[in-house]
Amino acid sequence: MPRFAANLSMLFTEAPLPERFERAARAGFTAVELQFPYDTPAEQLQQALFRNKLTLMLHNLPAGDWAAGDRGIACHPDRVEEFRNGVDTALAYAAALGAPQLNCLAGIRPANVTAEMAHRVLVDNLRYAATKLKAQGLKLLIEPINTFDIPGFFLHGTRQALDLIAEVGADNLFLQYDVYHMQRMEGDLAHTLAAHIEKIAHIQIADNPGRHEPGTGEINFDFLFAHLDRIGYEGWVGCEYKPAATTEAGLGWMNKS
């Protein structure tokens, strides 16, 4: 059975972030992930991890101004310096919190930027970030995201991500495969996972439709979890879903597993 990490940006949101660590541990999680930890001092998060005997498996690089509509800036030609400063910020948090990998959101392609230019900027930024992360022994991940939830998101397919990884040519650059996003864009989850498992360093889950917990939609998670065991996946599975009710009320799928 896969190992599950609670995404504390989406689970246990009934409580302030520092209290979510305790709730996750009480629910049986031994690892967590965060989308953006930067509004909370690293020392406070470090203490919460230690106090609850939790491991942080992942967080994202800074992604611009989320409230203003940014969903990553790695493909934005006019924000390269901001992106690179964000890499330094993310590395400081990763060092304090022990995160072994960081996820880079490519972002929405600006209307005045061609696809070719966005691609070139993204490749350059990924090479820069991968080099910086490798010096600290960390993996860099890229995540395709569906364009129904985020119209215009530049990286939106598995093949596109794999081609990027090959072009960047960094041995610490991997795919973060989000089951929910790729169900919406591509389907064929089991085949894709099996075919590319060596390039997948992290998996995230949510059911479709609704992006709620496993068992609320069309995806056969009992099959999928057993499939991950069969194909030898050894990484973590991040629970990045929106609970249909409270987080605890929706954890029956994990206890069943």
List pLDDT tens digits, range 6-51.
999 999 999 999 999 999 999 999 999 999 999 999 999 999 999 9
**What are the tokens at 63?**
């992604």
The β-bridge partners of 141 are 103, 174
At 190-233, the pLDDT tens digits run 999 999 999 999 999 999 999 999 999 999 999 999 999 999 99
Asked whether the predicted pLDDT for residue 180 surpasses 90, the reply is: yes
Residue 106 CA to residue 178 CA, distance in Å, equals: 14
Backbone Cα Rg of the chain: 17
Catalytic residues: 143, 240
The candidate with the shortest Cα–Cα distance to 67, out of 95, 90, 46, 36, is 36
- Tokens describing residue 92: 């400081």
Give the model's confidence band at 257: pLDDT under 50 very low, under 70 low, under 90 confident, else very high. low
Domain 3-256 in this protein, CATH class: alpha beta
The DSSP code for 186 is: T
Nearest to 131 by CA among 118, 140, 122, 141: 140
Share of the chain above pLDDT 70, in %: 100
Contact 76, 48 (CB under 8 A): no
Taking residues 69-92, what's their average pLDDT?
Answer: 98
Q: Quick one: pLDDT at residue 255? A: 79
To the nearest whole number, what is the mean pLDDT of the chain? 97
Q: Are 76 and 114 in contact (CB under 8 A)?
A: no
- 105 pLDDT band, cuts 50/70/90, is very high
- Average pLDDT, integer, range 142-149: 98
